[in-house]
Chains A and B, each alone.
Chain A
Amino acid sequence: MLTLEDTLDAAKQMMAFGEDGTDGAQAEQPARIQGHKARRTVKSIIRIGNETEEFVRRWDNKLKLYIPVK
């Protein structure tokens, strides 16, 4: 179904995430659904890679574009 290159790329990423394949519906785990209302302001801090650098951004203006604010 895939080229050798795409197969290897996908396999490497799956292994990096600790996966070994795609499972059907019977093996799926339910994702969490928690009760949250949309907030106007969200601050996120994401650490990327091994660097100590932290990225801080305000999420509100962007989020509003595709999430209706109640």
Chain B
Amino acid sequence: MKLGTRNLYLVLHHQLNDNTHRVLLADSIAQALDDWGASSRLSPIWATEEFSRGPDIDCRFTGTRYVTFLGPVDPMKLVRELKLDDHRSQLDVYITVGCFNVIVCTEDNAIGQEISGTLVEWAISKEVAFEQWRIVDGIVQKCTLGALSAHRAQEKIKKLAAFSSSDFPAHLAAVLQELQATAAASLSRAEAIHGPTFSYISEVVDGIIAIIGSFKSGTSDAFLLQTSLQQCNAALSRFASQATAGIPPIFEMQGHFWPHSLLGIGTANLAVRQLVAFIERVIGEAQLPQRVLRLADQTDNLPAYTSLVVGSGLLDFDILRETTLPAVTGKPLLPLVSFFSGRDGYSSKLQTLSLPSSALTECNSYRSNLLTVTHEISHIVIQALLAKISPTPGVPKDPEWVSRLWNENDGARNLLESTRKLFLEATLSIELTATTTIQGSEKKSMSKELHELLRAHRQETQEILVHTFDFLYFYRGDTEYYVRSIWLSWCAIPGIEDRVQEYLLRTLSAISANFQDISSEKRFGRALAILKPLLEKLAPTIQYPVNYIETALARISLMESDRNVLDEYDLLYNNRMLLVRLVKVFLHSDTLEKELYPAAIEDREFLSLDGKPIGNPLQYLASHLKNDVLEVESTWLFNILAFDPFFGAAVAG
């Protein structure tokens, strides 16, 4: 089945004067918004080439029609199992990004009635949610609802409801109440439409309950609980309102993302969940932060200071090979709650992940590239890593090891402390070059409280760690692909020209993970020599009023003509190399990287839905990245990702 490129809008008007629901199919957004009322809703839908009778005879709702909404379901599974190919001339099939991602329209004749009945029987037998409308001259006359009901939500809702606000500090009462209501709505709505989505929300709620438990047991405090609950509330609320809008009864389940107010964006949410679950299963399950802690067990043959900071002796270290985790039963990871947001764009918290709403219409464009989630997920891993290797203000035991590692060349007592030493060295050297004052002719000095120093450079150190982690794992060290991806996404963000030189440093730093074995004297020159032609190739493709790549190239030209500028960047770059080295040596694993790319890509015809596995979501999405895309491509890719058999039931983690 192949999607057509014709963009249509399904519009529902609730006519208050006679309390009827009028349906129409519009060819343009202007036509869809014509005669718009307070209770009007719309969603973009896409005709299929095989099951489309053309604009003159398709589902225009003249006469009597049956419209059956089904989903979330693999469209090809439905077409094959119901042998819809045998009835091509009798029906229209449309594809959407809503929870109901398949719409089948038939006429009110013998064959049409038979197909409509078969659709309902099939949906019930396969536990697929559905809703069927009988429409006469555009007015919905009869509505049959097909929500699922496993009666599993109540148990979880009761568990959450058992938390009494009187057991918590007063300022937590409101946030706890919001959580209870949001989780109840999310669980019950998910249960009504899709088993795997319900399981996923259940796991999210279990994680929240575990965090509440940590507060009640005294292992976390009220502020931490408040922060965590607020973040989860906001994310869960958005997920539920997006993924479970437009479910039975459609009339009452309005989506609040207005271009999709009729059917919501459940399939897009599902696709993102599949992608994130895939990464969680590989990178998350590896538990890299816990493995770094395990380095404390390694106390023999510790690297001397020199081999810790330079040379190739440690570059073959593989943390997956060198560490083992204690056997864990159950599901130890808290799943990320992912959602779309026009305001938050691509960003993450420890338990949540936001994607820009523009990704709904151009997920495979370099501008809104869905694969940017890897950068945000890298942030989460690095935050957890920093908690293991960076001193924390207020932790009494930290000053002992900090002073020992800073004052003794070989003060590390185990490999974990070697990792910490590398981090401290990096932070201090960045501080020294950034803020020291010159005293005398050749000396600089500084005086700063430890945590002030760490705080001052925490963001920059984190960004270098994140960029390097992202580059090595998710881009597999492919410099050209990496540079193209990150610079084309930066170029789409207005008003960040003053950050270009910092982005330049981050790029130069990350790509240098590929050549940590060469001497520091040659490394910066090598990085520049690799980056410059890549940027030169990209610069002419930028069509925004401000071209950040040109700005970066101008900066590189200045380095080439002014030795002082070159030395300045050389110094800043080399200060960051210890962070790159930290990721390369102590976080990167060739074994784990291979797990992210387990199978060769299975390509398919453009806009075709055939139910075949895609092989690997990261590689598959990467192979479809372009500058200019059609909106239908996002619908196509979301429907492939959401139902790809390769993932199995990954949604539930």
Binding site for B on A (CB under 8 A): 1-49, 51, 53, 55, 57, 59, 62-63, 65-68, 70
Contact with A along B418-459 (1 / 0, CB 8 A): 000000010011001111101000111111111101110111
> Closest Cβ of chain A: how far from B212's Cβ, in Å?
11
The 9 A-B pairs with the shortest beta carbon distances in the complex, nearest first, are A49-B399, A21-B349, A22-B379, A24-B347, A9-B387, A6-B384, A24-B346, A45-B447, A16-B393
A68 to B524, CA, bound (A): 10
Cα–Cα distance between A22 and B406 once the two chains are bound (Å): 28
- Interface flags for B196-235 (1: CB within 8 Å of A; 0: not) read 0000000000010011001000011001100110010000
- Distance in angstroms from A18 CB to nearest chain B CB is 7
How far is A47 from B460 in the complex, measured between Cα atoms in Å? 22
Taking CB atoms, residues of chain A closer than 8 Å to B333 are 1-3
Contact, CB under 8 Å: B571 / A1: no
Residue in contact with A68 in the complex, picked from B443, B490, B521, CB distance below 8 Å: B521
Q: Is the CB of A55 within 8 A of B220?
A: no
Q: Chain B interface mostly helix, strand, loop or mixed?
A: helix
**Residues 258-302 of chain B, each 1 if its beta carbon lies under 8 Å from chain A, else 0:** 000000000000000000100110011001011000000000000
Give the CA-CA distance A27 to B219 in the complex, in Å: 31
- B443 to chain A: which residues have CB within 8 Å? 39, 41-43
Can you list 14 A-B contacts (CB < 8 A)? A1-B276, A1-B279, A2-B381, A10-B380, A24-B354, A28-B499, A31-B459, A33-B505, A38-B433, A44-B445, A46-B447, A55-B403, A62-B309, A67-B575
The residue from B380, B458, B493 contacting A25, defined by CB atoms under 8 A apart:
B493
- Cβ-defined contact, B445 with A15, below 8 A: no
A2 to chain B, nearest CB (A): 5
Per-residue contact bits, chain B 305-348, to A (CB 8 Å; 1 contact, 0 not):
11001100000000000000000000011111000000011111
Binds A, one of B36-44, B116-124, B470-478, B562-570: B562-570
The answer to whether residues A22 and B376 also contact, given A1-B336, A3-B290 and a CB cut-off of 8 A, is yes
Interface residue B113 (Cβ < 8 Å from any Cβ of A): no
Other-chain contact of A59, B351, B375, B432 (Cβ < 8 Å)? B432
Residues of A contacting B460 with CB < 8 Å? Answer: 31
CA distance A30 to B362 in the complex (A): 28
Given contacts A13-B390, A28-B459, contact A36 B219 (CB under 8 A): no
* Inter-chain contacts of A51 with B (CB < 8 A): 399
- Partner of A42 from the list B283, B284, B445 (CB cut-off 8 Å) is B445
> Which A residues are CB-close (under 8 A) to B571?
36-38, 67
List of B residues within 8 angstroms of A46 by Cβ: 406, 428, 447-450, 453
A56 to nearest B CB, angstroms? 9
Q: Is B358 an interface residue (CB 8 A)?
A: no
Distance A15 CA – B227 CA, assembled complex (angstroms): 9
Of all chain A residues, the one with the shortest Cβ separation from B215 is: A8
Residues in A neighbouring B379, C-beta threshold 8 A: 22
In the complex, which residues of chain B have a beta carbon less than 8 angstroms from the beta carbon of A19? Answer: 458
Contacts A3-B287, A4-B334, A22-B380 given; does A62 touch B444 at CB 8 Å: no
Inter-chain contact B334/A28, CB cutoff 8 Å: no
- Whether B567 pairs with A9 at a CB distance below 8 angstroms is no
User: Which of A4, A6, A14, A45 lies in contact with B445, CB distance below 8 A?
Assistant: A45
State whether A7 and B211 are in contact (beta carbons under 8 Å apart), knowing that A46-B450, A48-B402, A67-B520 are contacts in the complex: yes
**Which B residues are in CB contact (< 8 Å) with A11?**
220, 224, 227-228, 350
CB-based contact B227/A48 at 8 Å: no
Known contacts A13-B390, A31-B457; 4 additional CB pairs below 8 A are A4-B334, A16-B393, A63-B429, A66-B309
Q: Are A62 and B332 in contact (CB under 8 A)?
A: no
Provide the bound-state CA to CA distance between A39 and B575, in Å: 13
Are A22 and B568 touching (Cβ within 8 A)?
no
Q: Are A4 and B567 within 8 A (Cβ)?
A: no
Roughly how many angstroms separate A19 CA and B425 CA in the complex, as a whole number?
23
Q: Which of B376, B454, B505, B578 touches A66 (beta carbons < 8 Å)?
A: B578
Q: Mark B462-506, 1 if CB is under 8 A from A, else 0.
A: 110000000000000000000000000110010010110110010
Chain A residues contacting B344 (CB-CB under 8 Å) are 24
Complex CA distance for A7 and B458, rounded to whole angstroms? 18
Q: Is the CB of B231 within 8 A of A47?
A: no
B386: Cβ under 8 A from any A Cβ: yes
* CA gap between A32 and B505 in the complex, in Å: 12
Instruction: For A7, give its contact among B334, B347, B499 (CB under 8 Å).
Output: B334
A30, chain B: closest CB distance, angstroms: 5
Q: How far is the CA of A30 from the CA of B574 in the complex (A)?
A: 18
- Using A1-B334, A67-B429, A68-B520 as known contacts, say yes or no to A12 and B220 having CB atoms under 8 A apart: yes
Report whether B345 and A4 are in contact in the complex, using a CB–CB cutoff of 8 Å: no
A31 to B606, CA, bound (A): 43
A11-B383 Cα distance, complex, nearest whole Å: 8
Question: Does B245 sit at the interface, judged by CB under 8 A?
Answer: no
Q: How far is the CA of A12 from the CA of B521 in the complex (A)?
A: 39
